């Protein structure tokens, strides 16, 4: 058997993409609640509005209504044999604005119910503390993580959760895909740092400064968590899209290496507790006066994570570009990789890249790894008899699981779990669409928000059930 018998098979979602109930149980407005729906066909992007405005379509307000369907949904996960279920705790259910003295009991109770329901079936809850759903109030009134004060708000939120669920949850992660902001577009900054970009700001500087505060907040949370329960496993969460050189031209190879540095330095800080050498050099070159104190540097050292959780969907390729002489990480320098196909959303499909990613982490960091997202967003068709043949999803997942098993079996990668994204159809984070589906379970709701919210099983539901039952041996 390549995989350990305790291997954590499961699936992953995020509160804002599945729960709905945006105003229930005393919940506050999160940054996801002010993001409108986009559309892949017309290429309409999501917009961030100044508060919740009348007449706009905010898909996360209802999402898949897990808030009212969680029992039914968790029963379906149990039917597939899930060993674990990754979700996030919506920060605004616990601290609706971020700066309240006391947490919101009704919000805490909701997650007690969800975790109890999982535990009833022997499903281990795995929890992300912050998954693109920071309080809107924090972004608006404090400037999000560009403000050092927000470290305290996060640590308080984390500590309340650790304390409350210390006997129910063992695996935690702090900030989802903290490194998505490597290319600091306003959209990325809002999702990762809850920063509303201001006119004329140097977004790159703002990103590095606020990412530093987030990393300090994460380290403080790790320390606090270990004090509350020494058995906790608290990880970071990294979006891993390996960057390949477009050719073997030395400058392309260097560009790819520098892009990997630009996208993955966050992992160094989380795991090794220190900045890689190239970063202080960059700050110097830019002439930035960074607020990084000696005390911060000690905190980073003391609050290193127990494991690396990462998402993997696709790989990128880059060509050296004279207009980018320092090889700063900018997504506009990416080129299409002619050797791989792409999804309808242009995400390059590359199972070998997952094996590469596992080896890349394994060579650099001596901590366990967990794949906490991997999946295939696609348009699904419901046949007249109600069945859904999503063989393309099975093909994507089985190729990736095969690559993952090869990395464990052949290269000895220390991998403890795999939670595919996302077992139940939910709102897409990047486009706000319902029709970009990942699930084994279909949710009857479309981009326009129409549908019964009824759940039904796709072909992949039965496939994943036997993948788990055979511990990954039977992938066909
Ligand atoms: C990751 C996010 C998830 C999820 C996933 C798929 O970046 O952590 O929240 O949404 O990507 O992306 P999308 O929903 O845009 O298809």
pTM as predicted: 0.97
Quick one: average pLDDT of 64-85?
Answer: 98
Ligand 1 pocket mutation, candidates 430, 431, 438, criterion most atoms within 8 A of CB: 430
Q: According to the model, what pLDDT value does residue 192 have? A: 79
Does the pLDDT of residue 1 top 80, yes or no? no
Question: What's the gap in Å between 371 CA and the centre of ligand 1?
Answer: 14
Which has the minimum average pLDDT: 83-87, 245-249, 326-330, 355-359? 326-330
At 410-444, the pLDDT tens digits run 999 999 999 999 999 999 999 999 999 999 999 99
What's the mean per-residue pLDDT of the chain? Answer: 96
Distance (angstroms) between ligand 1 centre and the Cα of 429 equals 5
Average pLDDT over residues 400-410: 98
Q: How much of the chain, in percent, has pLDDT values that exceed 90? A: 95
pLDDT of residue 186: 80
- Contact yes or no for 124/177 (Cβ under 8 A): no
Return the SS3 of 342.
Answer: strand
Predicted pLDDT at 345? 95
Average pLDDT of span 304-317: 98
Q: What is the mean pLDDT of residues 318-336?
A: 93
Query: Which pLDDT score, from 0 to 100, does residue 76 have?
Result: 98
Contact criterion met (CB below 8 Å) for 2 and 472? yes
- Residue (of 175, 155, 176, 169) closest to 231 by Cα position: 169
Q: How far is the CA of 323 from the centre of ligand 1 (A)?
A: 30
Task: Pick from 86, 130, 373 the residue to mutate for probing ligand 1's pocket: most ligand atoms within 8 Å of its CB.
Answer: 373
Atom of ligand 1 nearest to the CA of 431: 15
Q: What is the pLDDT of residue 2?
A: 86
Could you give the CA distance from residue 235 to residue 469 in angstroms, rounded to a whole number? 27
Instruction: Tell me whether the omega of the peptide bond preceding residue 422 falls within 30 degrees of 0, making it cis.
Output: yes
Please tell me the predicted confidence (pLDDT) of residue 158. Answer: 98
Average pLDDT value for residue range 155-161: 98
CA–centroid distance, 428 to ligand 1, in Å, is 6
Taking the CA of residue 430 as reference, the ligand 1 atom at the shortest distance is 15
Active site residue 373: yes
The residue annotated as part of the active site, out of 62, 117, 177, 433, is 177
Residue nearest to atom 14 of ligand 1 (CA): 428
- CA contacts within 13 A on the Cβ side of 320: 14
Where do we find the tokens 């809002």?
A: 190
Question: What residues does ligand 1 touch, defined as CB less than 6 Å away?
Answer: 14, 17, 176-177, 239, 311, 373, 377, 421, 428-431, 436
The share of the chain scoring above pLDDT 70, in percent, equals: 100
Closest-lying ligand 1 atom to the alpha carbon of residue 428: 14
Q: Name the token pair of 452.
A: 């019964």
Cα separation of 470 and 476, whole Å?
A: 11
Residues forming beta bridges with residue 84, ordered by sequence position = 10, 124
Query: Residue with the nearest Cα to atom 15 of ligand 1?
Result: 430
**Nearest to 466, CA basis, from 454, 456, 457, 475:** 475
What is the distance between the alpha carbons of residues 246 and 188, in angstroms, rounded to a whole number?
25
Classify residue 193 by burial, with Cβ atoms within 10 Å: 0-12, 13-18, 19+: buried
Whole-number Å distance, alpha carbon 135 to ligand 1 midpoint, is 19
Ligand 1, atom 16, lies closest to the CA of: 428
Residue 438 CA, closest ligand 1 atom number:
16
Contact 192, 175 (CB under 8 A): yes
Residues 6+ apart with CB under 8 A from 463: 394, 398
> Quick one: pLDDT at residue 184?
85
pLDDT tens for residues 197-215?
777 889 999 999 999 999 9
pLDDT score recorded for residue 200? 83
pLDDT of the residue at 193: 77
Is 331 an annotated catalytic residue?
no
Long-range contacts of 192-199 (CB under 8 A, 24+ apart): 192/132, 193/144, 193/145, 193/146, 194/31, 194/134, 194/135, 194/136, 194/138, 194/139, 194/144, 194/145, 194/150, 195/139, 195/143, 195/144, 195/145, 195/146, 196/48, 196/139, 196/140, 196/143, 196/144
Contact between residue 65 and residue 72 where contact means Cβ atoms under 8 Å apart? no
**Order of strands, sheet of 243-245, starting from the edge strand that comes earlier in the sequence:** 243-245, 316-318, 334-335
- Given 19, 124, 373, 433, the catalytic residue: 373
pLDDT for the residue 450: 96
Q: E strand or H helix at 7, and its extent?
A: none
Residue 386: pLDDT above 80? Answer: yes
CA distance 374 to 2: 19
Please determine, for residue 194, whether its predicted confidence score (pLDDT) is greater than 80: no
431: CA distance to ligand 1 center in Å?
Answer: 9
Cα 181 to chain centroid distance, Å, stands at: 12
Residues 6+ apart with CB under 8 A from 273: 219, 300, 301, 302, 303, 304
Provide mean pLDDT across the span 354-370: 98
Quote the ligand 1 centre to 452 CA distance (angstroms): 24
**In ligand 1, which atom is closest to the CA atom of 14?**
9
């Amino acid at each position: 058997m390549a995989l350990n018998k305790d291997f954590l098979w499961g699936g992953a979602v995020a509160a804002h993409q599945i729960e709905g109930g945006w105003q229930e149980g005393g919940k506050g407005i999160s940054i996801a609640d002010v993001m409108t729906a986009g559309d892949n066909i017309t290429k309409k992007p999501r917009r961030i509005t100044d508060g919740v405005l009348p007449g706009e379509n905010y898909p996360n307000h209802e999402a898949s209504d897990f808030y009212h369907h969680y029992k039914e949904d968790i029963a379906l996960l149990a039917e597939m044999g899930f060993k674990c279920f990754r979700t996030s705790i919506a920060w605004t259910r616990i601290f609706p604005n971020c700066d309240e003295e006391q947490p919101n009991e009704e919000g805490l109770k909701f997650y007690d119910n969800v975790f109890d329901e999982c535990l009833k079936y022997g499903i281990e809850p795995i929890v992300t503390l912050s998954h693109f759903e920071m309080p809107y109030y924090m972004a608006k009134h404090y400037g999000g993580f560009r403000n050092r004060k927000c470290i305290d708000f996060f640590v308080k939120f984390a500590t309340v959760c650790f304390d409350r669920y210390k006997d129910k949850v063992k695996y935690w992660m702090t900030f989802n895909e903290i490194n998505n902001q490597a290319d600091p577009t306003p959209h990325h900054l809002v999702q990762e740092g809850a920063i509303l970009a201001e006119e004329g700001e140097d977004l790159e500087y703002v990103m590095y400064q606020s990412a530093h505060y987030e990393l300090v907040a994460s380290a403080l949370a790790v320390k606090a968590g270990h004090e509350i329960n020494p058995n906790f496993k608290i990880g970071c969460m990294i979006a891993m899209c390996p960057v390949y050189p477009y050719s073997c031209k030395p400058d392309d190879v260097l560009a790819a290496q520098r892009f990997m540095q630009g996208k993955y330095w966050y992992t160094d800080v989380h795991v090794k507790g220190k900045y890689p050498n190239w970063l202080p050099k960059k700050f110097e070159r830019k002439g930035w006066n960074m607020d990084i104190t000696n005390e911060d540097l000690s905190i980073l050292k003391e609050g290193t994570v127990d494991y690396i959780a990462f998402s993997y969907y696709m790989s990128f390729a880059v060509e050296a570009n004279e207009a980018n002489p320092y090889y700063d990480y900018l997504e506009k320098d990416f080129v299409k990789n002619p050797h791989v196909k792409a999804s309808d959303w242009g995400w390059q499909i590359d199972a070998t890249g997952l094996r590469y990613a596992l080896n890349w982490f394994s060579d650099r960091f001596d901590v366990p790894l967990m794949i906490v997202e991997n999946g295939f967003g696609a348009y699904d068709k419901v046949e007249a008899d109600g069945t859904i043949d999503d063989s393309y999803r099975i093909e994507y997942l089985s190729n990736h699981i095969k690559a993952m098993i090869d990395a464990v079996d052949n290269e000895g990668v220390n991998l403890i779990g795999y939670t595919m994204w996302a077992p139940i159809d939910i709102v897409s984070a990047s486009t706000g669409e319902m029709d970009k589906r990942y699930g084994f379970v279909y949710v009857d709701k479309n981009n326009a928000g129409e549908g019964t919210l009824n759940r039904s099983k796709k072909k992949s539901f039965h496939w994943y059930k036997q993948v788990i039952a055979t511990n990954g041996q039977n992938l066909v």
